[in-house]
């Protein structure tokens, strides 16, 4: 019996030693980093704004008060030499004036997707695609006469552009393409019949081939002030290549508290085929929109 008791005690001690060794063994590291390859986020803001407009295709008074809503989302992927940047910007505003009542003051839906393959640490071979349109009906007011001028996918600008993307740092990028395809789409039959936005009368789309460049810049000066800018340039090889189309947007935010923000933005658009301005409503012009607002900004 003492011999059996000693053997059982020794076996029990050996089992406990094995358990201790197993617990002390180094754990295998989790090598799955797929979740870290994506960065997702955005902001949603609502501002009470003072607005001044000049030749703005979506319509508006020279001076007014407006409610402006802006949704900005992004999804960015990066792994080894591959990167994929996506963004959605949607702005909508309505204004109530004593002369014209309630009407739309701003309307822009902008989708951008950019895939890049790193040739060098700061240079990517890139394929860029974008869509820019609006959601609701828009009116211009030549000589204070309300004139229907735009609608959903009337116009819409679809762009497909292979090129090179230079990124010297995280705040700045410069994309250039000597050969870019662009489609101008006008689905509204009345605007199509009038030959609006350079589309032939009765047609719903127009194909263009040209050169394209895009400059993007974002700067966080401190925890209170941020600035974001984008400049797109397109030259149509098939018609008046010297008349370069321009899309230029700038936004600066001043954080007052976690959700209270003052915003100033200025946008400029020139499209040589948007000929709805002037006394006769048949001239192109630089469209300028500036907004000063105070409101809520929520980070997503």
**How far does Cα 99 stand from its chain's mean position?**
33
For each of the domains in the chain, give its residue range(s) and CATH number, in order of start. 37-299 (2.40.230)
Q: What value does the mean pLDDT take over residues 83-102?
A: 85
Local confidence band at 36 (pLDDT 50, 70, 90 cut-offs): confident
pLDDT of residue 280: 73
Higher pLDDT pick, 20 / 75: 75
Whether the upstream peptide bond of residue 155 has omega within 30° of 0, thus cis, is: yes
**pLDDT confidence of residue 284:** 86
Q: How confident is the model over 236-285, as pLDDT tens digits?
A: 999 999 999 999 999 999 999 888 999 899 999 999 888 878 777 778 89
For residue 26, pLDDT over 50 is answered with: no
- Is the per-residue pLDDT at 22 higher than 60? no
Per-residue pLDDT, 68: 85
**205-220 and 172-185 strand pairing:** antiparallel
Average pLDDT of the chain?
A: 84
Query: Assign residue 42 a region: left if phi > 0, alpha if psi is -120 to 50, beta otherwise?
Result: left
């Amino acid at each position: 019996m003492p011999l059996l008791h000693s053997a059982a005690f020794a076996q029990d001690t050996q089992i406990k030693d094995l358990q201790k060794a197993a617990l002390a063994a180094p754990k295998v590291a989790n090598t799955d980093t797929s979740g870290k390859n994506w960065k997702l986020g955005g902001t949603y803001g609502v501002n009470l704004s003072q607005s001044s407009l000049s030749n703005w295709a979506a319509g508006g008074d020279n001076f007014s008060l407006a409610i402006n809503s802006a949704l900005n989302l992004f999804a960015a992927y990066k792994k080894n030499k591959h990167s994929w940047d996506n963004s959605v910007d949607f702005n909508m505003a309505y204004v109530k004036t004593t002369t014209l009542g309630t009407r739309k003051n701003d309307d822009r839906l902008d989708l951008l997707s950019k895939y890049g393959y790193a040739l060098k640490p700061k240079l990517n071979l890139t394929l860029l695609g974008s869509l820019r349109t609006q959601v609701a009906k828009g009116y211009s007011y030549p000589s204070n006469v309300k004139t229907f001028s735009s609608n959903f996918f009337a116009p819409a600008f679809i762009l497909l552009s292979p090129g090179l993307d230079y990124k010297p740092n995280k705040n700045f990028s410069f994309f250039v393409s000597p050969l870019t395809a662009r489609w101008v789409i006008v689905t509204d039959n009345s605007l199509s019949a009038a030959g609006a936005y350079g589309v032939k009368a009765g047609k719903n789309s127009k194909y263009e081939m040209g050169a394209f460049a895009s400059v993007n810049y974002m700067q966080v000066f401190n925890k209170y002030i941020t600035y974001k800018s984008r400049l797109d340039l397109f030259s149509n090889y098939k018609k008046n290549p010297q008349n370069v189309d321009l899309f230029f947007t700038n936004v600066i935010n001043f954080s007052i508290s976690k959700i209270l923000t003052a915003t100033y933005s200025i946008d400029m658009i020139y499209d040589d085929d948007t000929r709805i301005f002037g006394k006769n409503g048949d001239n192109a012009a630089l469209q300028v929109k500036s907004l000063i607002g105070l409101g809520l900004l929520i980070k997503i």
